Amino acid sequence: ARQLQRSYLPGEPPDYRGVDIAGVCEPAFEVGGDYYDFIPIDDRRLGVVVADVAGKSLQGLMVMLMLRTILKSTVPRHTDALPTLCETNTLLSPDMRSGTFVTCCYYVYDSRNQTLDVVNAGHNPLLVFRVLEGRVEELKTRGRPLGLIEPEEFCRTLEYATVELEPGDTVLAYTDGLTESMNDRRELYGERRLKEDFASLARLAPGALVQRLAATARAFAGPRAQFDDMTLVALQVKRPEVPDDHGMDAAEEVSLAVDRHLTESGR
């Protein structure tokens, strides 16, 4: 079952213009229902989802697979995050057993405007590292988990937010298996430690960032067995490439060569 779960997670992250993105899912002692994905919408928008199914073993895995199938269909149909999650909940809810639900953070990155359109269905808040200020923002938006209430009420209570990003800013979505990692003293890794570690590591490339944060939480927990998957997804806006002090384009090189030739010729 665990191999099946991992086989449905994305492999290499997409090569999407203007951003670097990476994700990791660390399996727990039991099979869980964590899911993340990167789903292109068009040539300028990318849908990113991180979800956590309440319930372990095969039931949670089956709900995760249903969610994945539905999102592969709904995400490309909408350029905004809110209608995507509303339609996803409407399609998913009839097949979910009573008491089963899914928390989900979903956002659409627009490479032209460098913005995120974010909705959060009962999930952990999205974290944004502002590179110019060197600080972490917590983005909280209201929403109930998928499959818990009637679809009409779900859509009425779901809020969205639009976040403007600058080059070098980094966005982190995660599941509660990260913050609820527990050590032998029954202390939780917690949101405070996560924010501090994220702030100190956020300038790393996303692939290295998610691996380092996961390793930090594992080190905090020590040998104690963890019973919830740990999933992290980081997106970082690329900085524009700056040539070195001696860099010049082809036209400048030709112009300088002509000037040198005229000088040497005494003209």
Q: Domain with 120 in it: what CATH number?
A: 3.60.40.10
Q: How far is CA 231 from CA 50, 132, 215, in A?
A: 8, 27, 12
- Give the number of domains in the chain: 1
Tell me the average pLDDT across 196-225. 94
Averaged over 8-36, what is the pLDDT? 82
Q: What is the pLDDT of residue 57?
A: 67
CA-closest candidate to residue 105, choices 150, 168, 172: 172
Instruction: Name the pLDDT band for 26 (thresholds 50, 70, 90).
Output: confident
Q: How many CA atoms lie within 13 A of 174 on its CB side?
A: 28
Structural element, H or E, at residue 167: none
Q: Which domain does 54 fall in, by range?
A: 2-265
The DSSP letter of residue 112 is T
pTM of the full predicted structure?
Answer: 0.86
Q: Summarize pLDDT for 215-235 with one digit per residue, the tens.
A: 999 999 888 877 678 999 999
CA 194/CA 127 separation, integer angstroms: 10
pLDDT of residue 52: 93
User: Look-up: residue for tokens 């372990």?
Assistant: 56
What are 107-166's pLDDT values in tens digits? 999 999 999 999 999 999 999 999 999 999 999 899 999 999 999 999 999 999 999 999
Percent of residues, the chain, with pLDDT higher than 90: 67
Looking at the predicted structure, is the pLDDT value of residue 252 above 70? no
